[in-house]
């Protein structure tokens, strides 16, 4: 009986840790923040709002991030979204900003949203940020001039 119980516990723990993503996309990613400088190939896997981002340099995994209710970075462990923003981006950013950018969704609750024929743009300017955010069918572009943050995601075929 104790072996059966151990098997059930082990099965439940491994089932929770293995994530099967519905979409896998190969992207060219440029990421510049005060803490990370990256420009190369990335794999973006997602199902709903659960994401995995693998960054490659010269064909080897450089960094792996999983985003769900927490953000886990391969070499630094897991942290809350607000802690991740404070460490990697900007502490005033909304919790889901990275998720929304990677998926091409509106940010800052749609502030400055303008729909166009190929997607949308958002310009957000406050005392703390100066953001230009563009989403179209083959590219996502996010730039915050005040905080020196750039995130550009292009389809590999472009």
pTM of the predicted model as reported, rounded to 2 decimal places:
0.83
**Model pLDDT for residues 59-71, shown as the tens digit of each residue:** 888 889 999 999 9
Task: Tell whether the model's pLDDT for residue 151 goes beyond 80.
Answer: yes
Report the pLDDT value the prediction gives residue 60, as an integer from 0 to 100. Answer: 84
Residue 16 has pLDDT above 50, yes or no: no
What domains can be seen in the chain, in order of their start residue? 21-155 (2.50.20.10)
Res 134 pLDDT > 90: yes
- Angle among Cα 137, 138, 140 to the nearest 5 degrees reads 95
Nearest-5° angle of CA 114, CA 120, CA 124? Answer: 60
What average pLDDT does range 27-53 have in this prediction?
Answer: 91
């Amino acid at each position: 009986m104790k072996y059966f119980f151990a098997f059930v516990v082990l099965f439940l723990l491994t089932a929770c840790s293995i994530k099967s993503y519905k979409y896998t996309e190969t992207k060219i990613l440029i990421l510049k923040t005060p803490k990370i400088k990256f420009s190369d190939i990335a794999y973006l896997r997602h199902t709903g709002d659960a994401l995995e981002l693998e960054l490659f340099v010269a064909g080897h995994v450089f960094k792996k991030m999983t985003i769900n209710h927490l953000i886990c970075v391969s070499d630094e462990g897991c942290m809350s979204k607000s802690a991740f923003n404070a460490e990697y981006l900007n502490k005033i950013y909304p919790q889901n900003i990275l998720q929304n950018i990677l998926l091409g969704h509106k940010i800052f609750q749609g502030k400055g949203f303008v729909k166009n024929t190929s997607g949308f743009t958002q310009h957000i300017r406050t005392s703390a940020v100066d953001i230009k955010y563009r989403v179209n069918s083959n590219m996502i572009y996010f730039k915050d001039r005040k905080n020196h943050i750039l995130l550009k995601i292009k389809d590999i075929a472009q």
